[in-house]
Structure 1
């Protein structure tokens, strides 16, 4: 994150008002944009959703948890959590 000097971007009156509360300290101002959920930007969210649906389908079709775990390089407990949702 790049820091900018508040004196360079804020009106003097607003800067003086802020200084009453946080004189000389760092202040974080969050973005006004909607915060994205984990994995939305990178595509990870969709990837794991698709993978988990494949795992659930395989389990419903009779593939054992041990075989699914081996095929996806997951632990038995990880697969069990996915199929028991």
Structure 2
């Protein structure tokens, strides 16, 4: 997200209306509903977590213990169980 100067983008009468609510402060204007990217789509974080969780599930199915998986991935055993449970529900 980058900041833009309203004086460069908006008509003067619109700025005056906005100043009635917030004078000289910062305001966030969200994207339109249909144009929003889901969390992690732009950075690849979502895809990376999906890949990691699939790897965790596959390792568990091959016999690796929850404790071993938690230690290897630096997660709690509860998180590992949640990941495994979510993958079981998808099937």
Same fold (TM over 0.5): yes
Please list every run of at least 4 consecutive aligned residues from structure 1 whose deviation after the TM superposition is greater than 4 angstroms.
none
Aligned to 2:78: 77
Give TM-score scaled by structure 1 length.
0.72
CA distance in 2, matches of 1:67, 1:25: 55
Give TM-score scaled by structure 2 length.
0.68
Q: What pairs up with 1:1-85 in 2 under 5 angstroms? A: 1-5=3-7, 9-10=10-11, 15=13, 19=17, 24-26=20-22, 29-32=29-32, 34-85=35-86
> How many residues are paired up?
78
1:84–1:25 CA distance, 2 compared to 1 (3 A): same
Q: Which runs of 5+ in 1 are unaligned?
A: none
